[in-house]
Amino acid sequence: MKIQCNVCDAAEANVLCCADEAALCWACDEKVHAANKLASKHQRVPLSNSSSQMPKCDICQKLMIEV
């Protein structure tokens, strides 16, 4: 199952932004995270990674798998 980009709703998502809790395609990721210095520091994880490599929620320490 392919995940759609949460920004453009057209392309396949390639990366998960932990801070924004959003799945983004490469084009939207570049556009959104180039907007300012703070956004450029957001941790992003390729969606091709296995779930064991995905970041954990800061509060509950469970894997963040809801996209």
> Fold for domain 1-67?
Double Stranded RNA Binding Domain (3.30.160)
Tokens of 66: 């809801």
Residue 53 has pLDDT above 70, yes or no: no
In terms of pLDDT, which residue wins out, 1 or 66? 1
Those residues with Cβ within 8 angstroms of residue 13's Cβ, 6 or more apart along the chain or in another chain: 2, 3, 4, 5, 6, 23, 24, 25, 47, 67
Q: How is the chain split into domains, by residue range?
A: 1-67
Model confidence over 14-52: pLDDT tens digits? 999 999 999 999 999 999 999 999 999 999 999 885 455
Tokens of 5: 């980009």
pTM: 0.69
